[in-house]
Amino acid sequence: MPPQLLVVGLGNLPHPNTRHSIGHVIIDVLAAQFTIHRSINRSVGGFKGHSNILSFLDNIVSLTLFKPKLLMNITGPSIASALHNTIKLPASMVVVHNSLNHKVKVLSVKLEGSANGHNSVQSVIDTLGANADFYCFCIGIGRDHAIDPANYMLPDMPLDGLLHWNGISLDRVCHELGRIASR
């Protein structure tokens, strides 16, 4: 059986093309790249899609993509349902989210230990328990210290202005997914 991964993108459906919803954007780009159809799954509270065989670093991977419907800061229960209905192991889950503390378009990968002030990640930790370590892909959105963070994160942006997740950046995401799957 190939390794299994659940990739969860954090964001708010009412604000689809914003820095705040960069996790949703990444899920959409991965779904398009690998032709993964997603549909609403009411039992887990979001949009879920699956592909049995994908090649990351020459590995076969069973990949499930999940985009929660709930507002970002209360997605923990929905993500826990998706986890328990798919791969079951938190260490095989990757949560993709924005980071004001990283430079624009920088990807930081870590096996979660703390939320680092991210309320949505804290919701996942609170729901799964402090010992349920999972991976986080922190996507840098930068920070404009001259304005309120909400005013910086929530305006709509054209997707090409939001990020260019084709080429090198998407390759980096896929490379990191492959590394996690091969552990």
Question: pLDDT tens digits, residue range 99-125?
Answer: 888 887 788 899 976 788 788 999 999
142 vs 96, more confident: 96
How far is residue 84 from each of residues 4, 78, 115, 127, 140, measured CA to CA in Å?
A: 13, 10, 21, 12, 29
Which of these is catalytic: 15, 20, 97, 164? Answer: 20
d(CA 126, CA 146) in angstroms, rounded, equals 32
CA distance 139 to 183: 22
Residue 128 is predicted with a pLDDT of 93
Which domains are delineated in the chain? 4-181 (3.40.50.1470)
Query: What is the three-class DSSP state of 87?
Result: coil
97 is catalytic: no
